[in-house]
Structure 1
Amino acid sequence: MAGRVVLVSSSIVRPVNSNQSGRTKIHLTPFDFSLLQFSSPQRGLLFPKPDPSFHLISQLKSSLSLALDIYFPFAGRLVKTENLEDNTVSLFVDCDDSGARFLHAEAKSVSVSDILQPDGSVPCFLDDFFPRNGLKNCDGAPEPLLVVQVTEMNDGVFIGYSYNHMVADGVSMWDFFHTWSKICSSGSCFDHKPLVLKRWFLEGIDYPIHIPVSMTERPPTSRESSSVDTTKHWMLHFTKKNISDLKAKANSEVGSSDMVISSFQAVSAHMWRSIIRHSGISQERETQCKLVVDIRQRINPPLEKDCFGNMVYLASAVTTVEELLDRGLGWAALEIRKLVSSQTNENCRSFAEDWVKNVKNLKLGIGSKVDGDTIAIASSPRFEVYNKDFGWGKPIAARSGPSSSLNGKLTLFPGINEGSIDVQATLRSDILVNLLADVEFLEHVTTA
């Protein structure tokens, strides 16, 4: 860690009751493997500074140990085995209670106001408040599946984390974070129901799945890495009224009572059209809006809404730049709505079966272009992030880390005010400058 952040200690926190039986191995599905080359997700919450009587680090570590006893996969390790008969490898999660990594850091010269910039910019030094920068899910075999970093500031505390996306998704991670905060604030482990694993495997597919060795290795350095230096992070705020106006506009353009546009779809469409308008690409080019879709309730029979594991995958709405810009907000929102609605049980099964069938011919990398024609929307404004009280107060703000700093990545959070949405946008500097000067865009967005 460089600059303002100083690492004080690094330790491993294990479940309080290590030596659990009957939960040793979790096989990975095609949905998990499709995330191999993605960067490990990073999220974090900014809190006020606790009273000195609150033993911050010791209480966070002891409550983390109790939380890991419930969410035991986070204390395991990703294991790679060689299949000599066909020169492939397999991966599984070994729930061996090896533990999560806990980093304690200090940034005594940093204040809450330094992070909450009035113009919406995200300061570069915040990168060091997140653990495991640059790590991909395919790097996970020797690493802890969960790393937490607690950074004490002048007048606040930042709790950042990174986790292996093949083991869990945002639903599972925020559920875990909520449980950890409740244990810490209460001082004991409350009566929590046993963890429900996703338990979804397709018939006709042999597990463990055999994959080429190359899929577990990083691809050669490409344009993906060169794009990181040219992007900036910016917070964009949609108030409840902003969203209401956007929805009203989109729904009036759609003009159908059977096709109602949601808040998420209206905001996503507004961001998609506005970013592409300033990307400088030709009208004939294709443009994509990629969404992370939760399929727990989309498969048949449906899974429990809070079952633990990774149950998301990336789906894309595709059109031309000319169509996107000429047909209006309602049309773009409707394309996103159709994309989400199309993720049916048959669609999910087809994806998994095709993935296994074509595993030897799959392209490595995330498959996203980084020259301005694609936006990728991660996280969800439905996640409850502002109810995570560890015992000294609720969060002040939520942020995403620098992992996968590709041009066009949008991370959505609920706003701190009810009904609002915050978007952390990662964009090329030239696109960002033009976007922040766009009157049509700013009519529905604030940066303060």
Structure 2
Amino acid sequence: MADVTVISSSIVRPQNTNQSSRTKIHLTPFDLNTLYLDYTPRGLLFHKPDPETRFISRLKTSLSTALEIYFPFAGRLVKVDNLEDNTVSFYIDCDDSSGVKFVHAESKSLSVSDILQPHGYVPDFLDHFFQFSNVQNCDGVSKPLLAIQVTEMNDGVFIGLCTNHLVADGISVWSFLHAWSKICSSGSVSDLHPLVLKGWFLDGIDYPIHIPVSEMETPPPPSRELSSMVITKERIFHFTKKNISDLKAKANNEVGTTDVIISSLQAVSAHMWRSVIRNSGLSREGETHCKVGVDLRQRLNPPLEKECFGNVAYFPPATVTVGDLLDRGQGWAALQINKLVRSQTNESCKTFAEDWARNVKILKPQSRVVGNTIIISSSPRFGVYNTDFGWGKPIAVRAGMSHGTSGKLAFMRGIEEGTFDVQATLWSGDVLVKLLADLEFLENVTIV
């Protein structure tokens, strides 16, 4: 176990509050569908700043200022029991009563090199660098919506965030991080714009949405015997500019039409999907799913502002048979992802939301046994290496641990512009061993 000691723990609230203009944030079907998913962990690794800079104090002070703009993070999730119809409903109260949890920790035994392990392995001790690891979004009724842990090591600092997906998606989280770092490094908010909330809810759907109490029941946790069988490992796979270019060219050549252009992200996603499933030992007749995070802001009509704050992401699945995925090639797999993304229109969003509100079915934690699904989350478009708190840019980004759910693929920009890093959660046994011996997979990926 890592030697991580908590030095202090506190609640940070906005420095100045003006609650008169802050109303409840009602939750959409896209929000409520994530109630039983975990808080999203993201972390940044830096070289250690000069202690004379009093960087912990600066981080807390600038965080308080940043929360004046990003005030929903300091709010709380409210659960209402509707006794008249045996349902519950939720909303986010932006009253600053909860605040953000801020923890200062240290590990005298760990160094930057312990995180940047050879061959891309993500060490298990990284779990101790996040406060709300393995906490579900619905737990926001009793926990802050954002928890930050700053861990000092011998030669580095790791800033780990756990955010409640009900309040913010990846675009909003990284927008907050960039604003916080700007305030910390410059001490000014003059070039930062007021927050624009998503302000979107479908006409014809009454809110707050009433959720049957029966739908809030969750299955029991796996037995101890089953839990011991589903240990996973986190691994970083690096894609150079050439890796990406080759995969994109191959996919587009196989598709063979100029009517559809496979993007770099779709080509790499297809490569990961086919490679993981090829080495998973699944029946060829069975189905496999690739869930892709899609930003809905510009897909709605009228469109929302590109960087409006909130959770405006959705993870629809592309579903095919294992046999088709493996036999029909890289281009065909990428085309299924491309079709899925293009199909997310205002009409499809409206249909999903209306159907969900009529027949509420909350997404429960993914099965830890089947292993036929991969989830493409985050995005290499997020400017993760532009987050400078005043002592230099990050030297690595990590996505936190996934606690036994195999198939999560967090896509991030590599440290060199134009490159990708994919943090993959895979079974620690056969799948990972086979993948690292798979020449077709290794041909287009770089092991760091």
TM-score, scaled relative to structure 2: 0.96
Q: Is the 8 A contact 1:215 1:364 kept in 2?
A: no
Deviations along 1:251-280, whole A, 9 cap, x unmatched? 111110111110000000000000111000
Mapped pair 1:97 → 2:96: yes
| Deviates most, 396-405 or 257-266 | 396-405
Query: How much is the aligned-residue C-alpha RMSD, in angstroms?
Result: 1.6
**Deviation of the 1:246 alpha carbon:** 0.5
Structure 1 partner of 2:293: 292
Q: Partners of 2:403 and 2:314 in 1: how far apart?
A: 16
Q: Partners of 2:418 and 2:190 in 1: how far apart?
A: 30
Q: Partners of 1:185 and 1:345 in 2: how far apart?
A: 40
Q: Partners of 1:405 and 1:20 in 2: how far apart?
A: 41
3-state SS of the aligned residue for 1:89?
strand
Segments of 4+ in structure 1 off by > 6 A? none
Deviations along 1:386-435, whole A, 9 cap, x unmatched? 00000000000000111454111111101111110000000002101110
Q: Partners of 1:57 and 1:214 in 2: how far apart?
A: 45
Q: Partners of 2:146 and 2:276 in 1: how far apart?
A: 33
Matches within 5 A, 1:228-377: 229-359=230-360, 362=361, 364-367=363-366, 370-377=369-376
Q: Residues 347 and 228 from structure 1, CA distance in 2 versus in 1: closer, same or farther, beyond 3 angstroms?
A: farther
Identity %: 66
Q: Partners of 1:239 and 1:111 in 2: how far apart?
A: 26
Provide structure 1 residue ranges, at least 5 long, that are not aligned to the other structure. none
Q: Partners of 2:426 and 2:62 in 1: how far apart?
A: 37
Deviations along 1:46-65, whole A, 9 cap, x unmatched? 00110122111100000000
Q: Partners of 1:21 and 1:290 in 2: how far apart?
A: 40
Q: Partners of 2:411 and 2:104 in 1: how far apart?
A: 27
Deviations along 1:202-237, whole A, 9 cap, x unmatched? 111111111123444543213898378511000000
Q: Is the 8 A contact 1:167 1:309 kept in 2?
A: yes
Structure 2 partner of 1:402: 401
Deviations along 1:57-87, whole A, 9 cap, x unmatched? 1000000000000000000000111112101
1:65 aligned partner, one-letter code? S
Q: Partners of 1:364 and 1:439 in 2: how far apart?
A: 36
Q: Residues 235 and 444 from structure 1, CA distance in 2 versus in 1: closer, same or farther, beyond 3 angstroms?
A: same
3-state SS of the aligned residue for 2:53?
coil
3-state SS of the aligned residue for 2:183?
helix
Q: Partners of 1:109 and 1:214 in 2: how far apart?
A: 47
Q: Is the 8 A contact 1:219 1:364 kept in 2?
A: no
TM-score, scaled relative to structure 1: 0.96
Q: Partners of 2:218 and 2:3 in 1: how far apart?
A: 30
Q: Partners of 2:280 and 2:445 in 1: how far apart?
A: 19
Q: Partners of 1:348 and 1:34 in 2: how far apart?
A: 13
Provide structure 2 residue ranges, at least 5 long, that are not aligned to the other structure. none
Q: Partners of 2:366 and 2:230 in 1: how far apart?
A: 19
Structure 2 partner of 1:425: 424
**Deviation of the 1:188 alpha carbon:** 3.0
Q: Is the 8 A contact 2:232 2:403 kept in 1?
A: no
| Deviates most, 253-262 or 400-409 | 400-409
**Deviation of the 1:248 alpha carbon:** 0.8
Structure 2 partner of 1:187: 187
**Deviation of the 1:20 alpha carbon:** 2.5
Structure 1 partner of 2:161: 161
Q: Is the 8 A contact 1:227 1:370 kept in 2?
A: no
3-state SS of the aligned residue for 1:140?
helix
2:335 aligned partner, one-letter code? L
